[in-house]
Amino acid sequence: METVTLTIKSQPVLFLEADNITPDVFAGKSAADIASLHAYEGRDQITLGKYFDVAGKAGATAADTKIVVKGDVSRVKYIGMKMSAGEILVEKSADMYVGGWMQGGKLTVKGNVDAFAGLGMQNGELIIEGNAGNYLGAAYRGDWRGMQAGVIRVKGNAGSDIGTFMNGGTIIVEGNVDVHVGTHAEGGKIIVKGNGKSKIGGQMVEGEIYVFGTIDVMMPGYKYIEDVDLEVDGVKGKFALYHGDLGERHPKRKGQIVYGKLYQKI
Amino acid sequence: MTKSVTDVICPFCGTLCDDLEVVVSDDGKTIVDVYNACAIGAEKFMHAQASGRVTRPRMQQPDGSYKEVSYDEAVEYTAQMLAKSKKPLMYGWSSTSCEAQSVGHEIAEQVGAIVDNTATVCHGTTLLAVQDVGIPSCTLGEVKNRADRIIFWGCNPCHAHPRHMSRYSIFPRGFFTNKGHKNRKMIVVDPRNTDTAKMADIHFQIEQGRDYELLSALRVALRKEVLPDTVAGVPKEKIYEAAELLTSGRFGIIFFGMGVTQTLSKNHNIDEAIMLTKDLNEFTKFSIMAMRGHYNVTGSGQVLGWQFGYPFCVDLSRGFARYNPGETSSNDLLRRGEVDAVFVLGSDPGAHFPISSVKKISELPSVAVDPHITPTTEVAKLHVPVAFVGVEVGGNCYRMDNVPIDARKVVDPPEGVLTDEEFLTRVNKRVKELMEA
Ligand code: SF4
């Protein structure tokens, strides 16, 4: 695997839209080719070389390419957008849309990310070692397909509206989350190892939500079913199972109504 | 001798009353009296006449004082500012005509601006919900003639839309509602005991920020599922009763306002309210409508919608329209430092935005176009006074139910004062020259 290192030279005045920072676009390119790829600052089209020093070279394919992003890129959007293979390592914090519509490969951010990370994610692995913003693994505005498959792991906390319209894949938040978890979900699994607030599983049709900590206010459409023993992300324990959202439509499978499942650790 | 202008529309709130009568002096220059309008509507007409009105553009000087400049200089400054900027914000558009909005959008397209309207701090969340789940709506005429179950959720028409209840929703005798308010059941959901709430048959005084739960509970009740003992502070018996009352009507309508669009859950509240409306259509006919504030904020959404495909927060910086409130919304852009110039027309963000955003406006090159002196014109580098739309110049406007109504001109603007459309047209021409150079 070949490695390309991008080091930010100066901070953009406005924000940088850098949807070309992906193994797919870099594949087969030299450092000079990569430096001449375009990015946008407002309506100005600029080159990546204006803000980044580029070292190393890319592999022949996306799968053979690793990108290391050094320096503070908290004013850079769209890192890893639509990447299908290979690896990206962001050493500090990044802005919005990290791993948006990602299709494969592995993307790690050591710092924090702003909103819309893993938006409409189709596959792959997204790891945020700091905190994530709102709309993690959610759907783009108006789309009914949030996260489809793959794994998102956040070691810190996450914001509101995570997993909106989710229908596959797994989101694990090791810290706490803000309001609205898995709203409109039709599948997938969300694990919150810290505390939840309220509006958890609202309008959920199908899917699973696990909350290890507290829930401030439960949605009225959740009905207690039973206690179950489970192992969730390496943690064994007893969980109270609720079915819901009873205010929402639910499909029938093999003569049985399928509900969303909310598990709270006891 | 005075003369009377009839069928005048009121350019104040989204009710867009179209039955006003305005008495003007013989020379057609001054307004003497306004009939049929509510107090705030009449005030809008009288205010246009107030003495001490600014009639020439004013440029802020380094010491904070103002210098009068010509319209030519104002056009030049505005065009230069927009053409030099990499990502200007063009905000407002809710208190002007659709014709002016359209010219503004042409400028925005040329300079790669972000166009946003007052929905961003008001019913933008409604627009998000509509995009997610659609909306079963109707016109105010249908409400007047048919509705017998009226819900006001998080809104207070007594004060914000004073003639809404008398013209459309509660009191008028319509074709199938010939006993007026006696035909109707009125439900108000509001944590405060407002004047509207005092008139209601049922008032749910819910806990703040629990609208989403109560809406969800009503859907649970319609499905005859079990509820917890209380939801949002309301006992479950009352919720089952309300569900019964709603399904027993012939035609119901949910009107909702900022008490539910801008509180916790925002777009999700409206999403859930729309889904409740859809569920109610399994039992009877039900509709839902946003109580839009500014008289032509609906029009701004319409014009943006047909030109770019999105009703607010439209980002044209990359030459095609993108949209993602949370990123391309005015307050987020200002808070994060994503724009480098601000143009405001037909709104007063100085009074309605958080102070941190207003501070950002004051630090950037900025132009405010407004007939009045407002908190926004006070922080902007350039203030361009214009004629009052709906009083001194006509133009197309959209009522809250998306019905277009043409506003009428009643009196002349003060000598030499341009209209929004005239000013924008001149800026547009100059921007074109600058961008082509
Ligand atoms: S209700 Fe609204 S539109 Fe009607 S007169 Fe009053 S302010 Fe004007």
Residue to substitute in B17, B22, B158 for testing ligand 1 pocket (most ligand atoms within 8 angstroms of CB) = B17
Mark whether B226 and B346 lie in a shared domain: no
Which ligand 1 atom is at minimum distance from the Cα of B164?
1
Q: Which residues of B touch A (CB under 8 A)?
A: 85-87, 111-112, 128, 131-132, 210, 212-213, 216-220, 222-223, 225-228, 231, 264-265, 268, 271-272, 275, 317-319, 323-327, 336-340
Assess if residue B225 is contained within a domain: yes
Q: How far is the CA of A184 from the centre of ligand 1 (A)?
A: 38
Per-residue model confidence (pLDDT) at position B1? 78
What's the one-letter identity of residue B262?
Q
Mark whether B135 and B195 lie in a shared domain: yes
Q: Would you tell me which residues 10-49 of chain A have a C-beta closer than 8 angstroms to some C-beta of chain B?
A: 13-15, 17, 40-44
Residue to substitute in B8, B9, B10 for testing ligand 1 pocket (most ligand atoms within 8 angstroms of CB) = B10
Tell me which residue range forms the domain holding B13: 2-47
Mutate to test the interface with A, among B120, B216, B317 (most CBs of A within 10 A): B216
Mark whether B16 and B93 lie in a shared domain: no
CATH number at residue B268: 3.40.228.10
pTM of the model: 0.95
Mark whether B206 and B76 lie in a shared domain: no
Q: What is the ipTM of this complex?
A: 0.95
CA–CA gap between residue B120 and residue A227 (Å, rounded): 44
Q: B34-67: per-residue pLDDT in tens?
A: 999 999 999 989 888 777 889 999 999 988 899 9
Return the residue of A nearest to B110 by Cα. A43
Q: Which DSSP string corresponds to A228-248?
A: EEEEETTEEEEEEEEEE-TTS
Q: Which residues of A touch B340 (CB under 8 A)?
A: 13-14, 42
Q: A155-175: per-residue pLDDT in tens?
A: 999 999 999 999 999 999 999
Return the residue of B nearest to A139 by Cα. B132
Q: Which residues of B touch A135 (CB under 8 A)?
A: 326
Q: Which residues of B touch A13 (CB under 8 A)?
A: 86, 340
Assess if residue B153 is contained within a domain: yes
Mean pLDDT of A231-246: 96
Assess if residue B128 is contained within a domain: yes
Assess if residue B83 is contained within a domain: yes
Name which of A140, A141, A202 is nearest B212 (Cβ-Cβ): A202
Of B290, B325, B350, the one marking the end of a domain is B290
Q: How far is the CA of B252 from the centre of ligand 1 (A)?
A: 23
Give the count of domains, chain B. Answer: 3
Per-residue model confidence (pLDDT) at position B48? 81
Say if residue B195 is preceded by a cis peptide, omega within 30 of 0. Answer: no
Q: Do A221 and B225 lie within an 8 Å CB cutoff?
A: yes
Is the Cβ of A179 closer than 8 Å to some Cβ of chain B? yes
Mark whether B252 and B218 lie in a shared domain: yes
Q: Do B132 and A184 lie within an 8 Å CB cutoff?
A: yes
Mark whether B131 and B273 lie in a shared domain: yes
Mark whether B22 and B136 lie in a shared domain: no
Q: How far is the CA of A236 from the centre of ligand 1 (A)?
A: 62
Q: Which residues of B touch A247 (CB under 8 A)?
A: 216-220, 222-223, 225
Mark whether B313 and B166 lie in a shared domain: no
Low-confidence ranges of chain B (pLDDT < 50): none
Assess if residue B53 is contained within a domain: no
Mark whether B174 and B91 lie in a shared domain: no
Mark whether B234 and B130 lie in a shared domain: yes
Of B247, B272, B290, the one marking the end of a domain is B290
Place of tokens 């809008």: B44
- Residue B406's alpha-carbon distances to A128, B18, B393, B397, in angstroms, are 53, 9, 11, 6
Name which of B226, B265, B324 is nearest A179 (Cβ-Cβ): B265
